[in-house]
Structure 1
Amino acid sequence: MVARAYWQGQIKLALVSIPVEVYPATRSGAAISFHQIHEPSGKRIRYEKVAPGVGPVDRDEIMKGFEVSKGSYVLLDEDEIEAVKIESRKTLELVQFVEASEIDVLYYEKPYFIVPADDLAEEAYVVLRDALRQTRRVGLGQLSVRGRERLVSIKPCGRGMVMEVLRYADEVHKAQGYFREIGEATPQEDLLDLAVTLIEKKSAPFKPAEFHDRYIDALERLIEKKRKAKGGKRILEDVEEPGQQSGGNVIDLMAALKKSVGSGGRMPERSSSGTKESTASRSAKSGSAKSGSGKSASGGTKRAAAPARRRKSA
């Protein structure tokens, strides 16, 4: 199903107006959210809005306050805030064109797909797309939507175009403040050559579907397992990562790089079921110690772990 349009309007280039629709190019990941539950009663935890010395307050008695000094606030009501919001406009005017390389990656915030609103708009849309591609430029403008004014860039993307919401300058930290302590020494040539060789050996086409959040995968398996067990209360011990040895050993960078290059740059395969197996092992040991027998805590045979649910790829 096609997502709901984020914005509908016209891209304006001088005297040319192109009717377009803008759709989100990304979606929220498979994040799992939890509710807080009062264990003895099984009831959800609720929060009340209270004022010290007053108690619970009604929603219409609450204002927004900006702290100007410790304990001192400038109060604003909803009408005052609404009055200064930028009116949403149906026109995105491209006011400047720059090379894509001029925009630091730190400024990019969120991408959107731009599509022509109808067949009549397609010709002008294609002209703008191909002109941007030929000149290797991106168009800049400000989009007024939902009360705010967003800085955006427009660039070609396959047969279409993508709009990127950009951060304003005061929203981005200067890199120099973090990197100034890094020395200017040039690395040894042989070390650099080995590192380049290792990178080349491990280079491959980018396939994002091959990467998964293993924590989310393990959490989904855990939830499914407990759901099938009818929500039985169970305490699971934390899985500890193997500890790294501490001490004054200095890593031999040359030896490590040579070893990596010699092995073809291969790394040990990551097991997506590592968390599950480790947790099951520790739970089995705990159950064995408590019951003193080879049976599970419930006295029956062990249940097979629920198969991992296949997550939809983006």
Structure 2
Amino acid sequence: MAARAYWQGQIRLALVSIPVEIYPATKSGASISFRQIHEPSGKPINYEKVVQGIGPVDRDEIVKGYELSKGNYVLLDDEEIEAAKVESRKTLELVQFVDAHEIDVFYFEKPYFVVPADDLADEAFIVLRDALRKAKKVGLGQLSVRGSEKLVSIKPCGKGLVLETLRYADEVRKAQSYFTEIPDDKPDKELLDLATQLIEKKSAPFDASEFHDRYVDAIKEIIDKKAKSKGKKVIEDVDEPAPSGKSNVIDLMAALKESVDGKGGKKKAPAKKSTSRKKSA
């Protein structure tokens, strides 16, 4: 495989050990990164370590500190931090199985592909994969890697398995504290029916290739134009939808009806705005 294995070891299920390799399932996308440039010289700006009231300091004078309170730090050296790291065990033990829907979506962090390490592991690997699929369960365990211990889940994916790193409970905020101000009102039946029709009309199988980061595309276009125009400004105006002065209920009803009738329900927006599209919910 072209990619480098993220982890190599064994998945253990009771007395059964399965040699596996784990590979990142994602890669860096088309994100744009910028450097800060000194405009008069055109050279990149570097950063130096500076202490307030003292000035630049040498790298060997720097230690890590944890802030207990404002301006109050506990200092730790590299040896102390290294000693606290979890030993990198080469075994991922599946200690619990749960229904997939029991894990809230905001616990999931990053996916990885899991494959058998060799031909001898194929049989046990296939048995585990198909047993998870038949039971409709997800396996849970803790993966020790690079000095830390990650909570992970394992589930079938096609002919293989997918491992997903999960956030721990103290890393996830409780939704209730954000949703308490939302009223318990029931929606108007006609509005609900129209919204349901619109959802059904726009339903289709998921295909990630149909979606693109329009910001990145626009920045790349500007960079390309500016490179060809030798640094001249090439910023183009972007039309913003005009706000509507009508009440929310009337606009919502009209917008939903228009969308269901097909005037606003197309997947791709037209190149130019029409007056009917200026209405807002």
Mark yes or no: TM-score above 0.5: yes
Provide the secondary structure at the position in 1 that maps to 2:131. helix
Match of 2:97?
A: 97
Q: Distance in 1 between matches of 2:236 and 2:44?
A: 25
Aligned residue-pair number = 272
Q: CA deviation at 1:147?
A: 0.8
Q: CA deviation at 1:45?
A: 0.6
* Distance 1:249-1:67 versus aligned 2 partners, 3 A rule: same
Instruction: Kindly report structure 1 stretches of 4+ aligned residues shifted beyond 6 Å.
Output: 271-274
Match of 1:301?
A: none
Match of 1:8?
A: 8
Match of 2:240?
A: 242
- Counterpart of 1:244 in structure 2: which amino acid? A
Q: CA deviation at 1:260?
A: 1.3
> Which runs of 5 or more structure 2 residues have no equivalent in the other structure?
274-281
When normalised by structure 2's length, the TM-score is 0.91
Q: Distance in 2 between matches of 1:268 and 1:136?
A: 34
* Distance 1:106-1:27 versus aligned 2 partners, 3 A rule: same
For the 8 Å contact 1:201–1:264, the answer to whether it is kept is no
* Distance 1:262-1:271 versus aligned 2 partners, 3 A rule: closer
- Counterpart of 1:266 in structure 2: which amino acid? G
Match of 2:257?
A: 258
* Distance 1:271-1:113 versus aligned 2 partners, 3 A rule: farther
Q: CA deviation at 1:268?
A: 7.2
Q: Distance in 2 between matches of 1:80 and 1:54?
A: 27
1:142-167 deviation line (CA, Å, top 9, x unaligned): 00001110000000001110001000
Provide the secondary structure at the position in 1 that maps to 2:248. coil
Match of 2:180?
A: 180
Q: CA deviation at 1:190?
A: 2.0
Q: Distance in 2 between matches of 1:238 and 1:264?
A: 28
Match of 1:211?
A: 211
Q: CA deviation at 1:72?
A: 1.2
RMSD after superposition: 2.1
Q: Distance in 2 between matches of 1:194 and 1:248?
A: 20
What are the residue-to-residue correspondences of 1:51-90 with 2, within 5 Å?
A: 51-90=51-90
Q: Distance in 1 between matches of 2:271 and 2:219?
A: 12
| Seq. identity, % | 66
Bigger Rg, which one: 1
Q: Distance in 2 between matches of 1:74 and 1:272?
A: 58
Matched, 1:202 2:208: no
For the 8 Å contact 1:25–1:112, the answer to whether it is kept is yes
> Which runs of 5 or more structure 1 residues have no equivalent in the other structure?
275-314
